[in-house]
Amino acid sequence: MGSTQAQHEKEKNMTLFKQIAIMLTLFLLLILGTVLVLNFNSANESAQERLYEDAKNTASSLSLSLGSANGDISMMSTMINANFDSGTYSYISLVDVDDKILYERVAESELIDTPKWFLNLVDISAPLASANVSAGWNQVGILNVQSDVTYAYTQLYTILKQLLLSFSVIAIMALISLYLVLSAILKPLKKVQHQAEAVGRNEFIIQEKIPYTKEFKDVVVGMNKMVAKVQAMFDKGNEELKRHKEREYIDADTGLKNRKYLIDKLPEYLKVDASSKGGVNIMIAFSGVIEANEKIGHKDVDTLFQNIADIFKTYSKNYENSIVSRMNGTEFSILLPDCSDEDGLSIAHNIYESSSKSIEHAGLDKEQTFISLGLYEYNYTQNIGQLLSLSDNALTQAKFSDSNIHLDKSESATEVMGKDAWRKIINSALEKSSFKFVSWTAVDAKKKRVAHNALSLTLKTGDGTEYFYGQFMAPANQAGLSSKIYQNVMHMMFTHPDKKLKSSTCSIRLSFEYLNMSETYDELSELFREHARALPFKLIIEMPDKLVRSNSKGVKLYKKLFETYNIETGVYEFIGESADYQYLRDLRPVYIKGESTYFLTQSDQSLSALRLITDTVGISLIATGVMDLETLHKLQERDIHTIQGRATEMITLL
């Protein structure tokens, strides 16, 4: 039954080229085979006729010669022997009028030099030819002659081989010609097929060369129009989203990022596997703005704000991934990852001095118009609300400070153990490969089914103590061991895959730092080459939006590598901050993941533009950090149904 089903599937998937080629090949072989059989049968009949004619001619000529012997048996036997030995005969006899044999010669049985199957297939019979032998008016007797069929079999077998050779050459040449002709005729169809397959992969390919055949031409023109419309939809969504992002993320007066951008971006900095473990957030407030507007006018005040915004950018540019944002009309924020409190204070003093000079240069009294700077030293364990609230408290203290600058520090995150102890545990786990996978579900709440399993890690020590990802990854980052952990677990995943995950779909999140390492691509290539084909589950590798939106050569190499081994791509930490979203079309991830707060705070226009882009190229949206059903319902109202987080445990699956 299985064999029959497989054969049926094979027939269903047979291409038009194969179907036409097989049909014409069978027709050609049928014609050639028919002609071959007819030619051979004709040769067989000719051979048998020739055997009879030869025997008949011999009988006639020999009977005349025998008549001249005047009945002398000795002379006649000599004549018969001479003819028998010089010809190909199986039997010659001379009988008298009373049917008494006067003389006869019978050929000795010889092995016929032809295959047995040929002898069984071809039946050749040699007719007996007779002639009267007379001496004058007296009849001596009757001469019987029969040709030897051995020679005929040999000749016919030689003819068959020549026919088979000739027809094989003709068949091969005809099939080659048929292939070339069909390839030329169906070449436009092949391009249509490639175009259709590209559409299935959400790629936009316009076929420039229009075929001449009317049917193919109509199909190609129709496909081109459809692809052009889809491309236009993507471009429209791209432009719309870029415009809305500029309005939603950029302050129009200063060109700085705004509060919404900072809040959407902060989750990237406040997580256990963040590249930065903390830093300083500087909140800055302008005082005396109303008086400044009255004194120099709104236009000059806007110019002053722009100049001071440039000062902020100047002093923050030395910190990679710093964010300068305008929180409201008179307050700003400068987030400086990996900045110490001493450096933060130094920058704050420099900003204060430079801003005071700009205020004076604008013709304002710096005693009446001034800035206050509240510095808060944060760490990765805090949430967004804590960071902003404590930064505001520092700013409030700065406003009452004589120097207009104040620093608050967060309490250090409580460590389970010291850095050296953590380094020892992690190194031991790397040596013994004692990391284990645990899975969390991403659930499609609309269809009430698991979309995929998101894999995370645990670390188990020799004494049985188990640490979760959030416990060991932060000290691993601080010790510079996080990339080694990813190397270890990727090798473990492919060389010793978890059988419990068989036939499921799983995702694993790889960090920016690990993917950006020069050796990672070569290591993954070798690992995939040896083990990817045997992976018992479907794998999705998630890459950070921070990396993929660069659309760099490295990202394209990863994309090609993953496609080669049927590994799909996902994007995480998406907040739509790219200047262009063409990279989503080029990468074509199966989904993009963003915080639930990101999706809920987007304007309807921005979310519609994003959906237009993702729907065009077949990308799903997944909200992460969904902790309750109330948040889920809000997301569903915005047509986002696939989620990760604690709320997945509250959904009854089908």
Report the distance separating Cα 494 and Cα 503, nearest Å. Answer: 15
Tell me the average pLDDT of the chain. Answer: 84
Instruction: Report pLDDT digits (tens) over 149-186.
Output: 777 777 777 888 888 888 888 888 888 888 888 777 77
Q: Is 283 a residue whose pLDDT tops 70?
A: yes
Instruction: Give the percent of the chain with pLDDT over 70.
Output: 93
Helix ranges restricted to H, 370-500? 384-399, 419-432, 469-478, 482-495
Of 391, 409, 427, the residue that ends a domain is 409
Report the distance separating Cα 628 and Cα 487, nearest Å. Answer: 35
Q: Are 264 and 622 in contact (CB under 8 A)?
A: no
Same domain, 424 and 342: no
Q: Is 8 a residue whose pLDDT tops 50?
A: no
Which two tokens mark 129?
């030819």
pTM of the model: 0.69
Of 377, 409, 441, the residue that ends a domain is 409
Query: What integer is the mean pLDDT of 105-129?
Result: 73
Q: Within a domain: residue 312?
A: yes
Report the distance separating Cα 299 and Cα 305, nearest Å. Answer: 10
Residues of the domain holding 53: 15-172
Three-class SS of residue 643? Answer: strand
Q: How confident is the model at residue 110 (pLDDT cuts 50, 70, 90)?
A: low
Q: How confident is the model at residue 2 (pLDDT cuts 50, 70, 90)?
A: very low
Same domain, 351 and 387: yes
Instruction: Look up the CATH number of the domain holding residue 571.
Output: 3.20.20.450
Same domain, 554 and 478: yes
Q: Is 234 a residue whose pLDDT tops 50?
A: yes
Q: Within a domain: residue 181?
A: no
Three-class SS of residue 369? Answer: coil
Q: Which residues contact 238 (CB under 8 A, 6 or more apart)?
A: 580, 581, 582, 609, 613
**Of the listed ranges 89-103, 210-224, 254-268, 285-299, the one predicted with least confidence:** 210-224
Same domain, 440 and 555: yes
pLDDT for residue 99: 79
* 56 closest CA partner among 147, 134, 135, 118: 147
pLDDT for residue 7: 46
pLDDT for residue 411: 64
Bridge partners of residue 593, in order along the sequence: 622
Same domain, 498 and 622: yes
What total of structural domains would you count in the chain?
Answer: 3
What does residue 102 show for φ and ψ, rounded to 5 degrees?
-90, -35
Same domain, 444 and 366: no
Q: Which 8-state DSSP code applies to residue 536?
A: S
Q: How confident is the model at residue 199 (pLDDT cuts 50, 70, 90)?
A: low
* 364 closest CA partner among 286, 309, 251: 286
For CA atoms 273, 275, 279, 281, the dihedral sign is negative
Q: Within a domain: residue 39?
A: yes
Instruction: Look up the CATH number of the domain holding residue 25.
Output: 3.30.450
Report the distance separating Cα 440 and Cα 373, nearest Å. Answer: 43
Same domain, 342 and 476: no
Q: CB burial class (10 A; 0-12, 13-18, 19+) of residue 200? A: exposed
Of 389, 409, 429, the residue that ends a domain is 409
pLDDT for residue 10: 46
Same domain, 286 and 434: no
Q: Within a domain: residue 66?
A: yes
Same domain, 427 and 404: no
Give how far Cα 525 sits from Cα of 490, 491, 600, Å: 12, 12, 39
Instruction: Give the percent of the chain with pLDDT over 90.
Output: 36
Report the distance separating Cα 499 and Cα 282, nearest Å. Answer: 50
Same domain, 323 and 434: no
Query: What integer is the mean pLDDT of 607-633?
Result: 91
Same domain, 495 and 477: yes
Crossing angle (nearest 10°) for helices 341-361 and 298-316: 150
Q: Within a domain: residue 122?
A: yes
Three-class SS of residue 606? Answer: helix
The total of other beta-carbon atoms located within 10 Å of residue 542's CB is 23
Residue 10 host element (H or E): helix 2-12
Q: Within a domain: residue 140?
A: yes
Q: How confident is the model at residue 417 (pLDDT cuts 50, 70, 90)?
A: low
Q: Within a domain: residue 99?
A: yes
The total of other beta-carbon atoms located within 10 Å of residue 467's CB is 20
Which two tokens mark 301?
């005040």
Q: Is 528 a residue whose pLDDT tops 60?
A: yes
Q: Is 413 a residue whose pLDDT tops 70?
A: no
Q: Within a domain: residue 161?
A: yes
Give how far Cα 230 sits from Cα of 221, 556, 619, Å: 14, 23, 14
Bridge partners of residue 541, in order along the sequence: 508, 569
Instruction: Look up the CATH number of the domain holding residue 282.
Output: 3.30.70.270
pLDDT for residue 280: 95
Same domain, 350 and 490: no
Residue 529 host element (H or E): helix 520-531
Which two tokens mark 642?
């696939």
